[in-house]
Amino acid sequence: MSSVVMPTQSLPATQVAAITTTVVVGGGVPLGPKAVNMICPMCRANIKTNTVRENQCRAHVCCCILFFVGCILCSCIPYCMDSFKIVRHTCPDCKAYLGTYKPQE
């Protein structure tokens, strides 16, 4: 087999414009304990997030400690405190998960 080598030609220099795009990853809107007005990153709709509060594991541990120490009537207090709850934010239109707010310890 023989290979054919073509002579190279010098091409005229052309200017190429650089195109930059900015992509924001992760919510630009900080999520808090209450519903937030924002644009959904999935469906691009202007929404107010749906929130669901759930007890953290710390609430269960504190309840058990209070119960076994003898404060039986007070053992349900951790379930009523916002500092023991996480808040999950979802889009009301497309039902996409947008993030979770966790209170500082």
Which residues constitute the domain of residue 66?
A: 37-101
Q: Tell me the per-residue pLDDT of 30-41, one tens digit each, with 9 for 90 and over.
A: 888 999 999 999
Would 47 be classed as within a structural domain? yes
Lowest mean pLDDT among 14-18, 47-51, 72-76: 14-18
pTM metric for this prediction = 0.65
**Alpha carbon distance 58, 24 (integer Å):** 33
List the Cα angle 52/57/58 in 5-degree steps. Answer: 110
Task: For residue 9, tell me if it sits in a domain.
Answer: no
Task: Kindly state whether residue 5 falls inside one of the protein's structural domains.
Answer: no
Query: Within a domain: residue 26?
Result: no
State mean pLDDT over 51-60: 93
Count of domains observed in the chain: 1
